[in-house]
Structure 1
Amino acid sequence: MAKLYFRYGTVGSAKTMNLLAVAHNYRHQNKNVLLLKPKLDTRFGVDVIKSRSGLTMDADVLVETDTVLTEDILDEIHCILVDEAQFLAKAFIDQLREISRHWDIPVICYGLRTDFKTELFPGSQRLLELADSIEEVKTTCAFCNRKAIFNVKFVNGIATQSGPQVELGAEEKYLPACSYCYYEQVSENHLSTPLFRDPVDLDPS
């Protein structure tokens, strides 16, 4: 039986570049890949999947809350790759789970684990509950050399924990951070008690 995979990481961890590399490898072997992305993600264009390195591919399906992957879409597909999976509804994650089971098609989902408030996205929560394989795509903190686990949101150059969970574009900028640097960035406005400093770890693993 094929598996449902969740490959998560912070912003800037090359998740989308990994996805595009997997898609390239399948297509190089003349295998059919179905590329999915949430319709709400319009940062680089409505139907464009683009990595920060500049690599791009067109999405085959733009997922909305009521999207159903029918038999004609799944016919002769060898792998399903999903970008920005954290934005998907829980019901669609359930659908991907059933596709991997009943159609024997591997489904690989890439996305953030938590938002800028360190809270799980609904789609990510369901993937953590259902995935056969959960893998971390690692990168280092933007402020030190520790492994990044959180995402810091900046508005006008100031770190914030305010705003809606899903907010694309605008003036916000998101950076990856380790736990110490995350709380250090937001502590001035949001924390009343100091945090102890973790031991320095130069190995991102």
Structure 2
Amino acid sequence: MAKLYFYYSAMNAGKTTTLLQSAYNYHERGMRTLILTPALDSRYGEGVVASRIGLKANARRFGSGENLLALIQADIAAHGALHCVFADEAQFLTRSQVWQLSDVVDKLNIPVLAFGLRTDFRGELFEGSRYLLAWADNLEEIKTICHTGRKATMVVRVDEHGRVVTEGPQVEIGGNDRYVSVSRAEFKKISEGSGRIELQQSVLPLGESR
């Protein structure tokens, strides 16, 4: 039987890389998939999902008021059977859209794999994440580490000087270098103003030339 999966993590844990690898595995076996991405996220171009390590794929953009069950039914009518649906940046789903994805599983018998952040920079649940945590059949954490070496479970937003930002809109697209994944203990420390974050390099070092 199909299931609704929620793969969650802090920032920069490889969620989109995992999504794209999973979609590739389906295509390698001749199976058709559909990748959904929020319309508000156009960092890599409209209708493109991309990972930090360079993998990318075309995706179907959706708005916050769009019915995802109807969208997927229309896709099947136009292009044929679907074997899996992927949802990137699933924290931006609405409550209704999470319910619609559960209908894709329960009524259409198509597995849905949703990937997203669990909490925002204030430590509060996103709407989509809240209902995925409540309604998903399987919850899987994609792990990453804090600069302290502990497991990172929280996200902080920082300014260009590495100082934590505690106010502002929940959603801020782009500027991944302004978000840092930290442990709960470190989140408390820097939120209280007793620490600062060193912004990390975003790519692997190539080594010294000889």
Normalised by the shorter chain, which TM-score bucket?
0.7 to 0.9
Structure 1 residues 149 and 54: CA distance shift in structure 2, 3 A: same
Q: Shift of the alpha carbon at 1:186?
A: 2.1
Superposed, 1:118-157 pairs within 5 Å as: 118-141=123-146, 143-157=147-161
TM-score by length of 1: 0.87
Query: 1:156·1:171 contact (CA, 8 Å) conserved in 2?
Result: no
Please state if 1:181 is matched with 2:186.
yes
> Match for residue 26 of structure 1?
26
Structure 1 residues 162 and 172: CA distance shift in structure 2, 3 A: farther
Q: Shift of the alpha carbon at 1:47?
A: 1.2
10-19 or 166-175, which deviates more: 166-175
2:174 paired residue among 153, 169, 177: 169
Secondary structure at 1:183 match in 2? helix
Please state if 1:8 is matched with 2:13.
no
> Match for residue 44 of structure 1?
44
- 1:44 & 1:71 partners in 2: Cα distance? 27
Q: Shift of the alpha carbon at 1:172?
A: 6.5
> Match for residue 207 of structure 2?
none
Q: Shift of the alpha carbon at 1:33?
A: 0.5
- 2:91 & 2:182 partners in 1: Cα distance? 18
Please state if 1:93 is matched with 2:92.
no
What is the letter of the counterpart of residue 62 of structure 1?
A: R
Aligned identity (percent) is 39
Secondary structure at 1:45 match in 2? coil
Which runs of 5 or more structure 1 residues have no equivalent in the other structure? 190-205
CA shift digits 1:100-159 (9 cap, x unpaired) = 001000000000000000000000001011100011000111x21100000010122211
- 2:55 & 2:176 partners in 1: Cα distance? 24
TM-score by length of 2: 0.85
- 1:162 & 1:155 partners in 2: Cα distance? 11
